[in-house]
Amino acid sequence: MPLNDEVSAAIRPIIEATGNYLEELTITSAGKVKILTVIVDSDSHLNLDQVTVVTKQISEVVENLPALGDSAFTLEVTSPGLDRPLTKPRHWRKNLDRLVKITMNSGQVIEGRIGEATETTVLVGDEKVSFEDVKRAVLEIEFK
């Protein structure tokens, strides 16, 4: 089993037990040190305390993984940034009423507030958008 898959399989249950999701895991090497970057998401916005708790739990499991052996590693646990694309229905539901910029497969650009989101569509302003027609969607940063 590839290392990425083995680590994912080991940490996913821990992350899900806290009510969160394993959004992404990347493993890179910096010399003899492996860097494990874990992106954790939730249905609400994660705070620093929640990320700290998950980090400690992940660290305990990863330290004992036979696949890593005695390799030195750095563990980085974070939540998705504002610039991270919205790719799953839960991303849209989490960000209701936020301003979004969508580039459609057709090249059309739609900007508006996220309204009702189902498993297949989202209402942006007055326009119903099918997820399969979305090429890229990112939140717009608003200053008040």
| 60-100 per-position pLDDT tens digit | 999 988 878 778 899 999 998 888 999 999 999 999 999 99
Q: Note whether 99 and 73 are same-domain residues.
A: no
The domain boundary, picked from 33, 49, 78, lies at 78
pTM of structure: 0.80
CATH number at residue 97: 2.30.30.100
Q: Note whether 66 and 15 are same-domain residues.
A: yes
Name the residue range of residue 106's domain: 89-139
Per-residue pLDDT of the chain (144 residues; tens, 9 = 90+): 788 899 999 999 999 999 999 999 999 988 888 999 999 999 888 889 999 999 999 999 999 888 787 788 999 999 988 889 999 999 999 999 999 999 999 999 999 999 999 999 999 999 999 999 999 999 999 887
Q: How many domains does the chain have?
A: 2
Does residue 144 fall inside a structural domain? no
Instruction: For residues 80 and 116, give the distance between their C-alpha atoms in angstroms, rounded to a whole number.
Output: 22
Q: Note whether 32 and 54 are same-domain residues.
A: yes
Instruction: Give the HSE-up count for residue 75: Cα atoms under 13 Å, Cβ half-sphere.
Output: 18
Does residue 83 fall inside a structural domain? no
Q: 10 Å Cβ neighbour count for 111?
A: 11
Q: Which two tokens stand for residue 118?
A: 């189902």
Q: Note whether 13 and 50 are same-domain residues.
A: yes
Residue 139's pLDDT is: 95
Q: Which two tokens stand for residue 129?
A: 């958008």
